Structure 1
Amino acid sequence: MQAAHTPSYYAATAHPQPERPALVGDVSADVCIIGAGFSGISAALTLAEAGFRPVVLEAKRIGWGASGRNGGQIVNGYSRDLGVIRARYGEDAARALGAMSLEGGDIIRDRIAQYDIDCDYVPGGFLAAFSARQMRELDHMKKIWEGYGHHELEMVDSAMLPEVVSSELYVGGQIDHRGGHIHPLNLVLGEARAAEAQGATIHEDSPVTGIDDQGASVLVKTVAGSVRAGTVLVCGNAYLGDAVPNLTNKIMPVSTQVLTTEPLDPSLLDRLLPRNYCVEDCNYVLDYYRRTADDRLLFGGGIVYGGTDPASIEGKIRPHLERTFPELKGVAVDFAWSGNFALTMTRVPHVGRLSKNVLFSHGDSGHGVTTTHLLGRLLGEAVQGRMERFDAFARLPYHPFPGGRALRVPLTVLGAWWYGLRDKLGV
């Protein structure tokens, strides 16, 4: 019996899928990919388009993890902005990453068009500011982005704000005309179908139990079979489990919570979100929301370091929704769910090699919808011997969480408390 998706709005509205049986027995492949989320499927499609026939192993179902549970927002860039990347790693690194910083969103749009993927794509995103300080930071960020070729950001003052979002919380914000929103589970399912049509094979319900790197080839073992491959790509992210322990220990799972209201009067949503942009705010622990294709408000936020769920998802998120839109006080909630993303200490994706034949990418740190698509492509390029762009990420130094696995949660919580206090004080 196949593992079920978490009972989310996305799972309830996903397009029907063919059965993808578990791997049974021993097979060979040129490339084996662990994980059928955005990273793994993006890599599989990149390789299949180039004539490879990759085998993808998924422990549960396609998009079962963060790729099928997130807020569905196309947010450009990385979890640390290009100014921080330049100050931390130097101008060459900033130029290399800056040149790729819009590519993830472009990949999504191109694949939607090329493969006719029905995933409710709507263009436009908005960063909402609570204070004059945040407005200054957005304006500064806009100038930095423009230095790296992104000229489609637009500042919004308080007078223009009601044309974008009708909430008394904000003083203004910034439109990203190259942002947007999608039904993420239907996106990854559509990309998986495209990869299969190009020659990829995907096995669901096939958890990896270990990797035996034998030099000339790598044996990837599952509960009922194995794949012998020339190259292995590890794309499990926050849901890798114990398949590759020395990778799992390098990131921290963080859960975020999402709820979806009952269907609302379209005219109400037209007033609350006149341009139908997705919205996220500028706080360190942020809220994010958007309108769905069937006129619900999907609202997310909150984080729990370590990847556990709060006692009540609705209890954690509803106060934020009602503070943002008081007219929705008491609105019925039809779906509430949680999902984990992988956080790195640097908040920059961690990319590299475990050996000559085993490559990995994880730790998108909350910007996974776009960066996973980019990094999946870079993994595919690396398999083909085109290493320059992959190495731009792989060269970045990795820093472990202080205190190791035992203390990473309390120390990170302490840091988040400090930044949250700054947001509340507006300093």
Structure 2
Amino acid sequence: MNLQLHKVENQKIDSEIIISGSKSESNRLLILQQLFPEITIHNLSDSDDSHHLQEALSSEEKVADIGHAGTAMRFLTAFFATQEGEVKILQGSDRMHNRPIEILVNALRDLGADIQYVEKEGYPPLKITGKRLLKNKVSINGNVSSQYISALMLIASSLKNGLEIQLEGKVTSVPYIKMTLALLHQVGVEASFEENIIKIQSKENTTTQDIVVESDWSSASYFYSLIALSEIGSSVKLSAYKKDSLQGDSCLARIYQHFGVTTIFEENSVTLTKEKEHSKAILKEDLKSTPDIAQTIAVTCFGLGVACDLSGLHTLKIKETDRLEALHEELTKLGAEINVTNETLHLKNTERIHKNINISTYNDHRMAMAFAPLALKVPIIILDAEVVTKSYRNFWNDMNKIGIEAVEIK
């Protein structure tokens, strides 16, 4: 499905949007719910990733196919490795079979797991034979996807002797590790994270609990961008959010002040308002802890003619696509002067934006959603627009509500 996007003329942006639960929180809680059935989860993410994870956890089939769901691949690799006597083939899309998983597999093997590569060494698909893991110490590089580390943390309380994880070197994406830690605490697991060492105690059961998932801050980023690109006085109310969020992407409230956007926290919601013109100063941000908002910020800067230097982006190379190269390609088509390295993005201020450009999405939901707000400036075409369902199934409906019309084209 290809969509032509354009601004609805004379429509003031003043809407209220309900966004489903955080994919990151939901997927962690779904694994914990398998270990502690006493947990009931409310406001689960409606993303494809979470649906794939739920299906894999509930299915009795030998083969579990998780499509493009990277989080599900990492979390299920660790989970299935602990399920004694169960044999699973864990597979996904072609892109998933080219996303490395060797670091996590090696760590699990060090704990005694039985995991074999079905095709290419170091990559899915995997054959996992569940075992009782008795070792209680493991080391893993901290400068990798935090999902590897969280995958180990989530299964740790189910191990007879608990688990101590030594993080080697510099640790990136710390907020996601702290999110996992906070959710473990919420379900009653004793756990700590001090000086690159994570310690998690064994636990067999917990008390009956109802847990409400906060809405997804990564999804909120597209509305921050949209308000930043809109006229002064535009606003949108998003629910359900809280000021003391577990999600690192809540730093959007601070970053988007640069673009004239204020954030007002109310009970279970935030209101974003364009109160003044954006700063013309270059935006400099280290996003090593929040890489998922890099695409949104880069497109916002381009749309406003603001230069930016974004760093800490090395994990973007191994996402659904090479997001740095994808940004370089698509922003260049729109008229940007942009340079990328393996971990940085440098954008010069540009006054002119080319119209009616086809934006390729590379099987990456965030490419489609990050570029959508640019339609407030010029008409654009989003190719394979249905890719947004990976994390945000109602995205195009919500864009229509807020002043961007999306028309399917052949």
TM-score bracket for this pair, using the shorter chain length = under 0.3
- Kindly indicate whether structure 1 or structure 2 has the higher relative contact order, using CA contacts under 8 Å at least 6 residues apart: 1
TM-score (norm 2): 0.25
TM-score (norm 1): 0.24
